[in-house]
Amino acid sequence: MMIEGNAALPAGPPATLTTLGDDIMRFVSGLSTARLALADAAKTASMSVAGVMQDSSELDARLANALHSGFAVRRAAR
């Protein structure tokens, strides 16, 4: 949806009554760079979370195999 809704950057600085056209182009270019950096960070974070979840699942399976079944169902004495 983001890709379809994106408009291409103008070829040159916009015509203004002042000399702000170059500043506007640098700002818009900076927004594009920031968006790409944020997308890259989100991808890296999601891959890290997926790795942690995989490790957690493996640890759960190892614990389940190491403990006898009575451990989970036995009521602790008080």
Give 28-64 pLDDT, tens digit per residue: 889 889 999 999 999 999 999 999 999 998 998 888 8
What pLDDT is stored for residue 53 in this prediction?
94
What pLDDT is stored for residue 52 in this prediction?
94
How far does CA 78 lie from the centroid of its chain?
Answer: 46
Comparing 72 with 15, the larger pLDDT belongs to: 15
What pLDDT is stored for residue 44 in this prediction?
95
**In which band, very low, low, confident or very high, does the pLDDT at 76 lie, cut at 50, 70 and 90?**
low
Amino acid, res. 77: A
Q: Which residue has the tokens 């891959």?
A: 47
Are the CB atoms for 47 and 57 separated by under 8 Å?
Answer: no
How do the domains of the chain map onto residue ranges?
Answer: 25-78
Tell me the CB-side half-sphere exposure of residue 43, using CA atoms within 13 A.
Answer: 6
Whether 19 shows a pLDDT value over 80: the answer reads no
Q: Quote the tokens at residue 76.
A: 């602790």
| Average pLDDT of the chain to the nearest whole number | 80
